[in-house]
Every structure is written in C-alpha cells, then in structure tokens.
Amino acid sequence: MKYGQPLPPPAVSPQVGKIIETGREQIHMLESGSADGNPVVLLHGCGSIAEEVMMPFAESGFNIIAPDRPGYGFSQSLPAGERGPLGQSFWLQRFLEALDHEKVVLAAHSIGCAPALHLSVRRPDLVKGLLLISPCCRPVPFKPFIVLRSAMAPFVGSVIRQHVIARWSSYFLERGLRASSCPNPVTSELSSLPAMHMVNAASVATMAEELWAFNGDMEPLENLPADLPLSILFGREDRVIEPRWHLDWLRERHPAAKIELLDGVGHMPHHVSRDLALTMLGDLAGRAPAETGEGVLSVNVVV
C-alpha cells in the first residue's frame, strides 16, 4: 500500500447463533433476553440480517428470536419460485413449528412484514400479535433499481455482483444505511454491522428475487383476522417507502390497527425511537421478566 493511501476499514465478524433444521432447510437465528419471557420473533428487512433488527430489542427481557431470512446471513435460500413473501410465509411457518412455541408475537421491519402478514392470514393460530415497523406490504409502482437490475443482468450481472458490489461492500452498506436512516443520522450500532456478510453476491441476488416477486404475492392478500392485535410504527419522513401508501392499504385489511406516526423519523424508527418500539412490543407480548423483577439472560451469540 502506498504512503498516504487510506487504510481499508477493518472487517467485522458477524454474530453467530444457532442453526435450526426444519426438514427442508437450515435457518440461522440469534436469541436474546429471558428463556421464560413471552416469545417474540423478529424479521429483518431487505438486504439486512438478524443482527440489525435484534439491536433495539436485545435487552428487552422478552424471549427474542431473530432468524436470518432465507438467502441472507447464514440462512439457506429457498428454491426458485418460493422466494417471494408468500413462499417465505411457508418458510416462517416451518421455522415456528421447529421452535415448537404455541403462539408468538411477530415483529417485522420493512419488506419482512410481507411474509408475516401472509402467515397471519393463513395460520392465525400461530400468531399472538403483530408489530409492523415501516411496513412495505402494498404492491408498489415500478422503480428502476438501476444498480440492482445491472447486478442481475445476463452475462455482466455476475461480474458486477462478485467484483464490484462485493468488493465495495462497505461503501454500498454505508450508502444503504444513510438512505434508510435519513433524515436521522446512522447510529454507531448500525455502523458496526459486518459489511461483507451483508453485502455480497448471494445477498444481492436474494434482494432482487424477493423484490421481483413482491407485487404478485401481495396483490391477493386477504383481510387480516379481526381479532388479531396489530400495531404499526412508521416514520413520517420515510424516504424508502411512502407511509400513507401502505397505511391506507393496511387499514382496509384491518381497520382496528393501532398506528404510531413519528415526526422527523425515517425508515428506521426501531433504532431512532427504541423506547416506543419496546413499549409497543410489550403491549402485544405482555410484561417482560425485567419489568416484574425476574432474571434476564444475556444474548446467546458468539462473536
């Protein structure tokens, strides 16, 4: 390296938790909180991993379980044709059945809300309550996604994925975090995420596949069960998705949803307003052991 040239950022190791076998696939998950707490399953958004969505809830005292969704992190991809929200809802069903919990609260961020909604319609017996954070759920107008489309183009796509995006993973992650957090600053926790683990050839392909399947899978979604407790947390200044576009659609399917809209907050309200996110989660999951004086376990991960 020449004198005066900036050093590359140090590689950050991803957190490693448990591998769950469903009979069809291996799913990597992180755990946190109390084994005696009410079970809460967290689903991350597009291009993210369990480690990110776990951050605001890690010390909540609930029995927090966060899987890497299929094709992200250490979790196996789904077969072609099953990678959209509907196919992922069956993946989520297999995951919950492997955990052997009677009922769980689902908390999901962004496009991770889509499979949670499908599961809540198909198998309401598995879902105690639903917390949607910046939910991307309504079919959306066409967007060019120039970089993503280029990365999936015939012939040149694999070169772009492996030799451009993967090699510049820190740059693309920083750019994505800034866009998602805007108008809020990127938190130090988010800046510590493992770039090479999040932005690589496989994860880029996963992003493209679930986005391409999104509209077709979400169009036929039926109304949610009227007795399903549903809470929604949104930032009014979300620059990634339009809050009103998705909220109007959700109200049609569940008129009794409880909605919190935050002024001056973007696409990451669970990081910006984590106390409110924890309160909303507690309203669905019940009191955490930490609130009742019971012991709380530490995060069950290995760095």
Task: Kindly state the average pLDDT of the residues 169-194.
Answer: 96
The first and second tokens of residue 2, run together, are 């020449």
How is residue 28 annotated by DSSP? Answer: E
Residue the block writes with tokens 């962004």: 110
Task: Kindly state the average pLDDT of the residues 289-295.
Answer: 42
What pLDDT does residue 142 have?
72
For 18-141+214-291, the fitting CATH number among 3.10.180.10, 3.30.390.30, 3.40.50.1820, 3.30.450.20 is 3.40.50.1820
Using a pLDDT cut of 90, give the percent of the chain over it.
75
The model's confidence at residue 267, banded by pLDDT at 50, 70 and 90, is very high
What pLDDT does residue 8 have?
46
The candidate with the shortest Cα–Cα distance to 199, out of 77, 44, 10, 48, is: 48
49 vs 223: CA distance, rounded Å = 29
The candidate with the shortest Cα–Cα distance to 29, out of 57, 65, 77, is: 65
Task: Measure Cα distances from 285 to 40, 61, 85, 203, 248 in Å.
Answer: 7, 11, 24, 31, 25
The candidate with the shortest Cα–Cα distance to 30, out of 72, 65, 59, 57, is: 65
* pTM, full prediction: 0.89
Mean pLDDT of the chain: 88
Task: Kindly state the average pLDDT of the residues 262-269.
Answer: 98
127 and 93 Cβ atoms separated by less than 8 Å = no
The model's confidence at residue 59, banded by pLDDT at 50, 70 and 90, is confident
